[in-house]
Structure 1
Amino acid sequence: MAKRPTRLRFTEDDLSSDAVKKAAAKAEKAASKAEKAVDKITPKKHRKLRQEADVSASRTAKLRFGKAKADDIPPKPSGIKRTATHAPVDTLSANVHKSISRYEDDNVGVQTAHQTELGAETACHVADHAVYSHKLKAYDKAEKLVSKSDKANVNALFEKFKKDNPNASSNPLSRWQQKHNIKKEYAAARAGKGGKATAKGAEKTAKGAKSLTQKITDFCVSHKTALLWVLAIGLLFMVISGMFSSCSTMFQGGTQVVLGTSFTAEDEDILGTDEDYTALENDLRSQVDNIESTHPGYDEYRYALDEIGHNPYELASYLTVVFEDYTREEVQATLQQLFEQQYELILEEEVEIRTRTETRTGTRTHTDPETGETWEEEYEYEVEVEYEYYILNVTLRNYGLGNVIRSSGLSADQLERYEVLLETLGNRSYLFGEDVSSAPGGGGEYTDYDIPGEALTDTAFANMIREAEKYLGYPYVWGGSSPSTSFDCSGFVSWVINNCGNGWSVGRQTANGLKNLCAIIPPSEAKPGDLIFFQGTYGTSGASHVGIYVGNGMMIHCGDPISYASIETNYWQQHFYCFGRIP
């Protein structure tokens, strides 16, 4: 029998936490729904017994789990019983009777009943099937609601655990393990039944042991020599097992943690899948680059483009949570779906009525006053005329793969596992190299730097640094362009330029877009406040990363997190592109 929903009881101190109070309310609501569904399939005498048990238990329970028989959901309607009782005798074959005597499992019974129904064509049988189907649906609904109630209870218990142990949930990995343990304890408490169930299990085990003992005895009589070798090997195994028995529990728990924090697909499939997603992005980039040839005839093209790119670890973490051990071929549809949600390319035609000066040609007639002879003379003159000026606004939005994933409908457990995988990099930090954008978007520690006072005498540069340092420690977020979303590299620099008070307005640019707005200068002439550009930090043409140069071989940029960094490291030297000065 399935269990009835469990109602948790919390103390006033527990409910002083808003998180616990909210989770407890959800658990109570889920339990109420489940109870209503269970009551619909529970005979009246069982309901009365349960109500009496609840009244008795509620006087003492704080966190209680169901015990009494009345807390059980009645057995699922048996297809076997229904067939044997209600089907017309002339439709029952000998095979059906054998099935009834052989199988006791409800699911097998339902299957047998369906096979019998295929041969039963009487009106009575069809009507009976409708009643039976209704019962099954009611039972399935009750089971699902009880399961949902259990999940809500686990969440509530986890919130209580976090309240009681504020230092025990400092990172996603430990939170994942703690919640896993609470689930196991809750499941054990829900499944706990003593007495007859235990006795029946012991009796069944004893019968099995007796049968096995007889088989071993027969084997020993006919295999005396082989038995000596078996005993010797067995003794050696027991000694070794004893040496390592103290580590068995730790090994089991460690294995669960490693598996839960690791990518399970092959490296080849993970890398191949990321290549496929990058190919989709390259196609989009090519589409944007060729807008003016594919949409000719406009007087002006205006671009507002987010960066194109993704964090490969976010993609691998999501696919692991959804598919586990996935292959490159089986996730193609999902890649396309994620891509369409991450990017939006908008082309909008705009028509402006403008005026311009046009030169036109006219004629004038002259008459000779003495002879009366006339002639015409051409002349030019200017007029102001109105005309239609056609503009194509090209907007590319990158909503961020991480944001798309977190709003994709993952369950709480899946989302928590996703965050753990992202933090541990699936235990495969070697997969995507040193790309700054491959790091998990968690923010955290950052490198600070004291800018020399003489550099700050430049008012424009001082304004830039004052704005930029507000966001030290903010995480790298693909497509991010404001404090509310955090930033990617070009989003951060664009924001600082637009909001530092120097009167600049460049809109939202990509790294390459910012480069195109700047005057390119040699490294020997670079000064604090200039922009520094890098290429090849991920698969894109032109500038792929940008920071603000602050002098002395240092820059402030949106790595992960926003931080000061030396541009003289091997990585940045290998990817250096150019310096640019804002007009």
Structure 2
Amino acid sequence: MAKRPTRLRFTEDDLADSRVKKAADRADKAVDKAEKAADKLASKKAKPKLKLETDAAGSRKAKLRFEKAEFTEIERPSVAKHMASRGAAVTLTSKAHQAVSEYEDDNIGVQAVQETTKAVESTAYTVDHAVYSHKLKAYDKAEKLVEKSDKANVNALYEKFKKDNPDAASNPISRWKQKQAIKKEYAAAKAGKGTAKETAAKATKKATQSTKTITEKAMEFCTTHSKTILFVLIAGLLFMILSGMFSSCSAMFQGGTQIVLGTSFTAKEEDIIGADNDYKALEAALRNEINNIERTHSGYDEYRYDLDEINHNPYELAAYLTVKFEDYTRDEVQATLQWLFEQQYELTLTEVVEIRTRTTSSTDPETGETTTEEEDYEYYILKVKLRNKGLDSVISNSGLSEDDMERYRILLQTRGNRPDIFGNDIYATPGGEYTDYDIPGEALTDTRFANMIREAEKYLGYPYVWGGSSPSTSFDCSGFVSYVINHCGNGWSVGRLTANGLMGVCDIIPKSSAKPGDLIFFQGTYDTSGASHVGIYVGNGMMIHCGNPISYASIESNYWQQHFYCFGRIKN
């Protein structure tokens, strides 16, 4: 059975808010489409009515009163009835064919009649089946449109709730809980259990207060009882497992379990890591292809490279695969990994031919006189360009629904409740928070360094963006350092270089001679030859660099010590 769509009404004050109005307009359009499809199926039934309440001023309120007529159920075309009617017809025609067949050997004309009858019956069956299929498709279409209208209504109610509760918790988990509460209460209202909008607002407000209270208490507990947290978590987990054995107890934890699952990676650890390794293998193959360009495309006079870094945030990959497949295995996501990879990276090779002039000389063998002349020649250049659009950008434009994107963001914030699954991968971080550092005053007496650090600190907290090279796009590591060098006012202009390219504009210096303002290079942070990461050294074993986000970091940590390559001083 299918139900007709529900139309919401909002007050003029509600619609004064642009977000509420936009969401309400979308909901109205969705309801219009759903009603049109439903009317085609039940044109003879009475149209649904929605009773609207008015306040003292006569304005319409977004209160829903569902009358029985609103939910006139449209019967789905029955497979059983269809088969039963076909069965009766088949039984009758079968007996007729049997009777005729007894005499078909004696009369060829009778056989012809029988064949004609079969053809007519076959055509009748085809037409009948086509009509049935058409009705079924129409029903399914109407049902899907009603579902879309319900989703649009929930979004509109959620925007209304945010307008009425501007101080509600704004973190992704709280927003997710609030929206889930609105969905639940909207469904209850449609079932005749209350007023959708009022109940949803009340429920989400309660959820917000509850979330805020729990969060504040949790933070207070973590601050004052940090040593007992692990014990409490283990004890709580055991208690939930035991209580789950009893239906009366398990209900107490149903909501909590849904939240935990909704914020967690649900695949096995070996599949999560394995899928990420498979993606890294695709990236390694791309690096190898670029490294061998001059061998596979030989014969050019010059090769020019414009390459973004090749890497990804493994948490972004794991979050997307979780949203897309839930409890996935390594094997079943291979096609998706290939698709993501092809969307993230774009390698283009462009041949350019320049007409250049060169001087040639020749000597007359008889006179020994040498003459020179200018001649034009073709100079062949191969431009190698790699663009990394960023995995997060690809995922954001992959067609995920609003709810799926919300969960994707939550999984990034919680790291799928597996904060250490990717070890020391510097790209395995959601970004946002950064480490600050107070540079000693004596270091700032160097004007060149002071100019650099003044420009660099403008972007503390900016997220790591693959290929990013300006404040408008944010930065990757080499894009950040290149931008600071070009815009700090020291008269340098190096363009947009990779980490290895920046090493080429520096004089390599021993570690003992390094001073604030020098560049520090690392190797092996991902699979590439030469320098793979770069930062600006600020003295006292500290650097400012674009990790995720742009931040200060100690170069004396185990990770950076293992990957240290060299120091470089920018050439004047």
TM over 0.5: yes
Question: Does 2:465 align with 1:472?
Answer: no
Query: 2:243 and 2:482 mapped to 1: Cα distance?
Result: 63
Deviates more, 1:247-256 or 1:408-417: 247-256
Does the CA-based 8 Å contact 2:66-2:192 persist in structure 1? no
Question: Does 2:557 align with 1:569?
Answer: yes
Query: 1:339 and 1:24 mapped to 2: Cα distance?
Result: 37
Instruction: Tell me which residue corresponds to 1:316.
Output: 318
Does the CA-based 8 Å contact 1:535-1:576 persist in structure 2? yes
Shift of 1:141: 1.4
What is the 5 A alignment of 1:130-145?
130-145=130-145
Instruction: Tell me which residue corresponds to 1:429.
Output: 419
Shift of 1:435: 2.2
Partner of 2:352, secondary structure, is strand
Instruction: Tell me which residue corresponds to 2:408.
Output: 418
Query: 2:17 and 2:34 mapped to 1: Cα distance?
Result: 26
What is the 5 A alignment of 1:86-485?
89-91=89-91, 121-192=121-192, 250-362=252-364, 376-441=366-431, 443=432, 445-485=433-473
Query: 2:273 and 2:430 mapped to 1: Cα distance?
Result: 17
Does the CA-based 8 Å contact 1:354-1:389 persist in structure 2? yes
Aligned CA RMSD, in angstroms, stands at 2.8
**Which residue, out of 476, 487, 508, partners 1:488?**
476
Shift of 1:246: 9.6
Does the CA-based 8 Å contact 1:65-1:190 persist in structure 2? no
Query: 2:276 and 2:403 mapped to 1: Cα distance?
Result: 24
Opposite residue 420 of structure 2, the aligned amino acid is Y
Deviates more, 1:487-496 or 1:460-469: 460-469
Question: Does 2:522 align with 1:534?
Answer: yes
Question: Does 2:511 align with 1:513?
Answer: no
Opposite residue 520 of structure 1, the aligned amino acid is I
Shift of 1:262: 0.8
* Deviation readout 1:159-209 (Å, 9 max, x if unpaired): 222222333332112212221222122222223379xxxxxxxxxxxxxxx
Shift of 1:35: 0.8
Opposite residue 437 of structure 1, the aligned amino acid is Y
Partner of 2:384, secondary structure, is strand
Opposite residue 438 of structure 2, the aligned amino acid is D
* Deviation readout 1:501-549 (Å, 9 max, x if unpaired): 3343333322223223322111111122211112233344432221111
Q: 1:346 to 1:83 in 2, by over 3 A?
A: closer
Partner of 2:381, secondary structure, is strand
Instruction: Tell me which residue corresponds to 1:43.
Output: 43
Deviates more, 1:158-167 or 1:414-423: 158-167
Opposite residue 178 of structure 2, the aligned amino acid is Q
* Deviation readout 1:289-321 (Å, 9 max, x if unpaired): 111111111111111111011111111111111
Q: 1:35 to 1:552 in 2, by over 3 A?
A: same
Shift of 1:245: 9.5
Instruction: Tell me which residue corresponds to 2:220.
Output: none
Taking every aligned residue pair, what percent have the same amino acid on both sides? 71
Does the CA-based 8 Å contact 1:349-1:390 persist in structure 2? yes
Partner of 1:436, secondary structure, is coil
| Structure 1 residues not aligned, in runs of 5+ | 95-117, 195-239, 364-375
Q: How many residues align?
A: 497
Query: 1:467 and 1:69 mapped to 2: Cα distance?
Result: 67
Partner of 1:334, secondary structure, is helix
Question: Does 2:66 align with 1:66?
Answer: yes
Query: 2:359 and 2:39 mapped to 1: Cα distance?
Result: 85
Query: 1:185 and 1:529 mapped to 2: Cα distance?
Result: 59
Instruction: Tell me which residue corresponds to 2:102.
Output: none
Q: 1:92 to 1:28 in 2, by over 3 A?
A: farther
Query: 1:86 and 1:269 mapped to 2: Cα distance?
Result: 50
Partner of 2:439, secondary structure, is coil
Deviates more, 1:18-27 or 1:37-46: 37-46
Question: Does 2:494 align with 1:498?
Answer: no
Does the CA-based 8 Å contact 2:359-2:375 persist in structure 1? yes
4+ residue segments displaced more than 4 Å: 55-61, 82-88, 244-250
Does the CA-based 8 Å contact 1:37-1:142 persist in structure 2? yes
Query: 1:153 and 1:93 mapped to 2: Cα distance?
Result: 52
Does the CA-based 8 Å contact 2:346-2:386 persist in structure 1? yes
Opposite residue 282 of structure 1, the aligned amino acid is A
Does the CA-based 8 Å contact 2:51-2:65 persist in structure 1? no
Instruction: Tell me which residue corresponds to 1:102.
Output: none
Deviates more, 1:68-77 or 1:288-297: 68-77
Computing the radius of gyration over CA atoms, which structure comes out larger, 1 or 2? Answer: 1
* Deviation readout 1:343-375 (Å, 9 max, x if unpaired): 111111111111222221125xxxxxxxxxxxx
